[in-house]
Amino acid sequence: MTTECLFCELKNQERIIGECDLTITFIDNFPASPGHTLVVPKRHFATYFEASEAELLAIGIAVQKAKLILDKEFTPDAYNIGVNNGEMAGQSIKHLHVHLIPRYKGDVENPKGGVRWILKDRANYWNNKNKA
């Protein structure tokens, strides 16, 4: 791990909810919703596409384990799982991190389209089918 990375220097141990040889899982400091969690590989690299097969498997297992913990503590109605890869995708910390964001009935007026709302003018595809 590098010494100049926020995730490599994780200090707030009480936020950690899981750990294995390859990943660490913790509650986000700036949660989008109650229980917003990050799964971070211990090896320092920037994007999902740089992860080894072992790291990808460990990340997937960590997401599954985190969901079980969040289900018990926060009882969400659904989840979004997301990764920002690169600056133009919104990545602000150059260390891969997978967001597990609990969703709750009524947290937005209409959740249809989910992650498509990242590009707002393209999100409502079901009403724009004939405009292509």
pTM, entire model: 0.88
The total number of residues shown for the chain amounts to 132
Domain-wise residue ranges, the chain: 13-122
- Kindly list the catalytic residues: 97
Residue at 80: amino acid letter? N
Query: Which neighbouring-strand residues pair with 26?
Result: 16, 38
Residue 122, classified by CB atoms within 10 Å of its CB into exposed (0-12), middle (13-18) or buried (19+), is: exposed
**Rounded CA separation 99/59 (Å):** 11
For residue 71, give both structure tokens.
């289900």
Q: Which of 86, 100, 19 is nearest to 58 (CA)?
A: 19
CATH 3.30.428.10 fits 13-122, yes or no: yes
* Residues facing residue 81 across a β-bridge: 100
Query: 1 pLDDT exceeds 60?
Result: no
| pLDDT > 90? residue 12 | no
pLDDT > 50? residue 72: yes
pLDDT in tens, 29-63: 889 999 999 999 999 999 999 999 999 999 999 99
